[in-house]
A and B are shown apart, each in its own frame.
Chain A
Amino acid sequence: MRMDIAMNVHVTDKRPLALRMENITKRFRGVVALDQVSFDLQAGEVVALVGENGAGKSTLMKILSGAYQCDGGKIELFGKMLARANPQQILDLGVAVIYQELLLANDLTVAENIYLGRLPKTRSGLIDWNAVHAGARRAIARLGFDIASDAKVGDLSVAHRQIVEIAKAMSRDARIVVLDEPSAVLGDSELQSLFGIIAKLAEEGVSFIYISHRLEEIFAISHRTVVLRDGRCVAIAKTGDLTKDKLVKMMVGREMSSVYPDRQPRIGPPALSVQNLTNPWLKDTSLTVRQGEILGVCGLAGSGRTELLRALCGVDGAKSKSFTCGDLNSMPTSPKQALAHGIGLLPEDRRHQGLFIEQDLAFNIAIAGLGAIRRRGFLSRRAETRMAKAYIDQLRVKTPGPRETIGNLSGGNQQKCVLAKLLNAGCKVLLIDEPTRGVDIGARREIYQLLVDLADRQGLAIIIVSSELPEVIGLCDRTLVMRAGRITGELMRGEMSEERIMHAATD
Chain B
Amino acid sequence: MAMQFQDHDGAKTFGTSQGILQFLMRRAAISGLLMALIVLVVISALISDAFLSPYNLINVLRQVALYGIVSIGLTFVILTAGIDLSVGSIVAVVSVSTAMLLNIGVPVPVVILAGLAAGTAFGLINGLGITLLQIPPFIMTLGAMVMLRGFALTLADGRPIDVTSTANNFSWIGGANMAGMPVAVWIFLAVAALSFLVLHYTDFGRHIYAVGSNAEAARLSGINVPGTKLGVYTISGLLAGLTALIFVSRLTVGEPTAGTGLELEAIAIVVIGGASLFGGVGGVVGTTIGACILAVLANMMNLVGISPFTQQIVKGAIIIVAVSLEVLRRRR
Contact = CB atoms under 8 A, between A and B. Distances in A.
A339 B222 contact: yes
B280 A358 contact: yes
A336 B213 contact: no
Contact of A359 (B15, B220, B224, B280): B280
B105 to A, nearest CB: 42
Interface string A340-353: 10000101000011
Contacts of A261: none
A356 B217 contact: yes
A116 interface: no
Interface residues of B, number: 29
Interface in B6-33: 15, 19, 22-23, 26
Interface stretch (A160-168, A374-382, A481-489): A374-382
Given A356-B213, A359-B209, A340 B222 contact: yes
Interface stretch (A200-208, A235-243, A361-369): A361-369
Contacts of A345: 220
Contacts of B159: none
A379 B216 CA distance: 23
B30 to A, nearest CB: 15
B232 interface: no
Interface in B36-89: none
Contacts of B205: 379
A158 B201 CA distance: 41
Nearest to A360: B26
A257 B206 CA distance: 43
A382 B15 CA distance: 10
Contact of A353 (B4, B202, B220, B223): B220
B255 to A, nearest CB: 40
A353 B206 contact: no
A76 B13 CA distance: 58
Contacts of B276: 358
Interface string B257-301: 000000000000000000010001100000000000000000000
Interface residues of A, number: 34
A355 interface: yes
A160 B191 CA distance: 53
B221 A352 contact: no
B202 to A, nearest CB: 6
A339 B221 CA distance: 8
Interface string A406-437: 00000000000000010001000000000000
A381 B222 contact: no
- B202, B205, B214, B217: which has the most chain A beta carbons within 10 Å? B217
B203 A379 contact: yes
Contact of A347 (B202, B203, B220): B220
Interface in A316-357: 334-336, 338-340, 345, 347, 352-357
Nearest to B15: A382
B209 A356 contact: yes
Contacts of A191: none
A368 B221 contact: yes
A500 interface: no
A354 B202 contact: no
A275 B294 CA distance: 62
Contact of B220 (A354, A357, A401): A354
12 contacts: A336-B224, A339-B222, A340-B222, A345-B220, A352-B214, A352-B217, A355-B214, A357-B213, A367-B218, A368-B223, A370-B203, A425-B222
Given A336-B223, A370-B206, A401-B4, 18 more contacts: A313-B220, A335-B220, A335-B222, A336-B224, A338-B222, A353-B220, A354-B220, A355-B214, A356-B210, A356-B214, A357-B213, A359-B213, A363-B210, A367-B206, A367-B210, A368-B221, A381-B23, A381-B200
